[in-house]
């Protein structure tokens, strides 16, 4: 962990002016509107870089980004699923309020995003890389360079037919940056496909080795698991290379000082008990901010931030009024005063992602509370995990009764209705304290907080349960689900068909 470095008064003053000024006041030549580059990885765990202490993953550019800016150590997402996480970020709404809370449900055209507000205020707005937000809001950007959901062209039936570029989703980042208008501030949404599955050989010059792998205790230590992690590490390094290219291009254009870069991930690593779960392996994210004009180099922040806070913060920094329709809070004061508190807790959601699920979590600095509403379902990982060596190895070891209790978490039935973890003393969330009488007060407090936020944000159980798209034991597709949001009538028909098929 980096030591906290106190900020000097000029930095505080600069941020206060930028944060509080109206758009008209921002025309003061002494107060430049910042350029904003938002970089979002796809399925990268929060601590899988040198910036967060990993000794073996090759991430020199992300590491340098943290050295030149501020590393947030308690940053979280509102969902541990790709498209719900992204639509939540761009709207500043919790997933259940986006009408796009399930995987692949497109964001409806009537949803406001922070991007069109930046665009209307004079920003040039562009996207490059993975889209995964739906077709209806592409007009919010001046330019969209979409590489599809997974860096592949898709057939009409949804099969991958042709890889686009090198598969990273990052090839157009620098070209987009190079074609920006020179007389406007710019906002860039750069979305990688890395390190999302599927993985390929030979994508970086110096690949990682199995000895480089550091496994959390909820994974068995087998050759198949280590090799799976090697491929995952390699994609992180490829992503890191592109991050370096963007930074170099900003330097070349001479706009680094007044460009804010925020790098995060959309959810945790695509492995069992990480992605699609509400454990920190699923919802905790890397969060690095570089802004030389304002942010002290080599600084860190221990306070909580949520991805729902990104929209109001970007608007505030652009000198715009933040509508109360945004559900997040402005975290910009932390950029100069990281000891300040912008929120006491985060709220996260788990919806349908390949498999049916519905769970909610409250996370404070000290505790994590998870409420599992569908206890009849195991915590099955996303379908893409079935193609990796890790889950296949786990399935084989399960049949031999060779998995530890922590490694059995994906298979355990029934699921606990409630989970409570001391995340300071139990960072991997292995010991459920919900039934421990010594933690009754903490459990009741977080229960109450969850009940309250569900009421405030109008969060409730869906009217019907969306069936699985894939078999939970084999990972094979049931080939029934319509990707766009189906109507209730359509869903009832689908459920009836599934029930008949299963009889």
Residue 23 pLDDT exceeds 70: no
Q: What gap in Å lies between CA 48 and CA 31, rounded to an integer?
A: 36
In this prediction, residue 149 has a pLDDT band, given cuts at 50, 70 and 90, of: low
Residue ranges with strand state E in 342-483: 346-350, 359-363, 367-372, 418-422
Give one word for 211, left, alpha or beta, with left for phi > 0 and alpha for psi -120 to 50: alpha
Q: pTM here?
A: 0.90
Instruction: DSSP letter for 336, please.
Output: T
What is the chain's mean pLDDT, rounded? 90
Q: 214: which 2 tokens? A: 């550091």
Q: What gap in Å lies between CA 257 and CA 29, rounded to an integer?
A: 16
Percent of the chain exceeding pLDDT 70 equals: 88
The domains located in the chain, with CATH, are 34-338 (3.40.720.10), 350-502 (no CATH)
Q: What is the pLDDT of residues 416-426, one digit of tens each?
A: 999 999 999 99
Alpha carbon of 475 to those of 193, 386, 391: distances in Å? Answer: 22, 6, 10
Residue 250 pLDDT exceeds 60: yes
Q: What gap in Å lies between CA 118 and CA 123, rounded to an integer?
A: 5
Give one word for 326, left, alpha or beta, with left for phi > 0 and alpha for psi -120 to 50: beta
Q: What is the pLDDT of residues 273-325, one digit of tens each?
A: 999 999 999 999 999 999 999 999 999 999 999 999 999 999 999 999 999 99
Distance of CA 273 to the CA centre of its chain: 15
Which of 20-34, 115-129, 138-152, 487-501 has the least mean pLDDT?
20-34
What pLDDT does residue 480 have?
65
Q: Are 97 and 457 in contact (CB under 8 A)?
A: yes
Q: Are 263 and 286 in contact (CB under 8 A)?
A: yes
What pLDDT does residue 15 have?
40
Q: What is the pLDDT of residues 330-382, one digit of tens each?
A: 999 999 999 999 999 999 999 999 999 999 999 999 999 999 999 999 999 99
């Amino acid at each position: 962990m980096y030591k906290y470095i106190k900020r000097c008064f000029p930095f505080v003053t600069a941020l206060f002016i930028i944060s509080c000024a109206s758009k008209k006041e921002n025309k003061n030549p002494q107060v430049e509107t910042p350029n904003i580059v938002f970089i979002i990885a796809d399925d990268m765990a929060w601590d899988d870089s040198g910036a967060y202490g990993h000794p073996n993953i090759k991430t020199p550019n992300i590491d340098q980004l943290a050295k030149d800016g501020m590393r947030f150590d308690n940053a979280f997402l509102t969902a541990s699923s790709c498209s719900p996480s992204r639509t939540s970020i761009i709207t500043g709404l919790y997933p259940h309020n986006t009408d796009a809370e399930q995987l692949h449900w497109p964001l409806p055209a009537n949803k406001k995003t922070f991007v069109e507000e930046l665009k209307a205020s004079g920003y040039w707005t562009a996207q490059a890389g993975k889209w995964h937000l739906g077709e209806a809001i592409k007009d919010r950007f001046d330019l969209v360079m979409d590489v599809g959901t997974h860096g592949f062209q898709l057939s009409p039936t949804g099969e991958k037919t042709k890889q686009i570029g090198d598969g990273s989703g990052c090839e157009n980042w620098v070209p987009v940056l190079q074609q920006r208008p020179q007389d406007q501030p710019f906002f860039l949404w750069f979305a990688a496909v890395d390190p999302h599955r599927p993985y390929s050989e030979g994508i970086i010059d110096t690949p990682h080795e199995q000895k480089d792998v550091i496994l959390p205790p909820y994974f068995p230590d087998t050759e198949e698991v280590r090799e799976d992690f090697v491929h995952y590490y390699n994609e992180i390094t490829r992503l890191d290379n592109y991050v370096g290219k963007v930074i170099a291009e900003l330097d070349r254009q001479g706009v680094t000082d007044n460009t804010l870069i925020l790098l995060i991930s959309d959810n945790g690593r695509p492995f069992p008990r990480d992605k699609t779960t509400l454990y920190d392996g699923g919802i905790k994210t890397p969060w690095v901010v570089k802004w030389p004009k304002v942010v002290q180099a080599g600084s860190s922040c221990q306070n909580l931030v949520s991805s729902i806070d990104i929209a109001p913060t970007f608007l505030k920094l652009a000198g715009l009024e933040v509508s109360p329709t945004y559900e997040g809070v402005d975290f910009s004061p932390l950029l100069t005063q990281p000891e300040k508190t912008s929120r006491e807790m985060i709220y996260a959601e788990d919806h349908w992602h390949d498999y049916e699920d519905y769970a909610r979590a409250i996370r404070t600095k000290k505790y994590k509370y998870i409420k599992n509403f569908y206890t009849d379902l195991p915590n099955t990982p996303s379908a893409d995990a079935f193609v990796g060596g890790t889950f296949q190895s786990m399935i084989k070891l399960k049949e031999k009764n060779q998995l530890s209790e922590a490694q059995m978490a994906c298979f355990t039935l029934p699921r606990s209705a409630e989970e409570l973890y001391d995340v300071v003393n139990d960072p991997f969330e292995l010991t459920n304290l919900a039934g421990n009488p010594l933690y009754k007060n903490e459990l009741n407090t977080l229960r109450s907080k969850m009940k309250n936020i569900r009421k405030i944000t109008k969060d409730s159980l869906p009217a019907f349960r969306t069936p699985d798209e894939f078999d939970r034991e084999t990972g094979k597709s049931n080939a029934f689900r319509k990707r766009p949001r189906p109507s209730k009538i359509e869903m009832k028909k689908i459920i009836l068909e599934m029930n008949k098929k299963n009889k």
